A = this chain, B = another copy of it.
């Protein structure tokens, strides 16, 4: 039987995250939600994906507590899909994906978009990883250990 293998019970947080949001469309839906999309039709037009696929993904995102349904902001009888706190917390992942894409997936001069500080309009810095004492950490400076909690 060829059921898609589940990583839900893995003890690795990366595996669990990937299980929930490690899907192409799921990630793009969250991206659009962060850019202000709220309605089924908005997502569909922006992403250009089949409506059935979108319906399945949105349902899953609501079940996982990343999106929630609330009465439409424009007062109509329809509903808005809005990010929960859990959904907003995906922001750093989105930024990390964006910065990697900027660096490695574009030829110089290719048209693209950049992330800026909303207040100043200036481009943001790279994400930074710090040790407990504040030291800047790079690839190779970290390891994984079992939690002792």
Contacts and interface: CB of A to CB of B under 8 A. Distances in A.
A24 to B, nearest CB: 5
A134 B88 CA distance: 22
Q: What is the interface of chain A mostly: helix, strand, loop, or mixed?
A: mixed
A129 to B, nearest CB: 6
A117 to B, nearest CB: 4
Interface in A71-117: 86, 88-106, 109-117
Taken together, the copies of this chain in the complex come to: 2
Nearest to A117: B131
A33 to B, nearest CB: 11
A110 to B, nearest CB: 8
Best-surrounded residue of A90, A132, A140 (most CB of chain B within 10 A)? A132
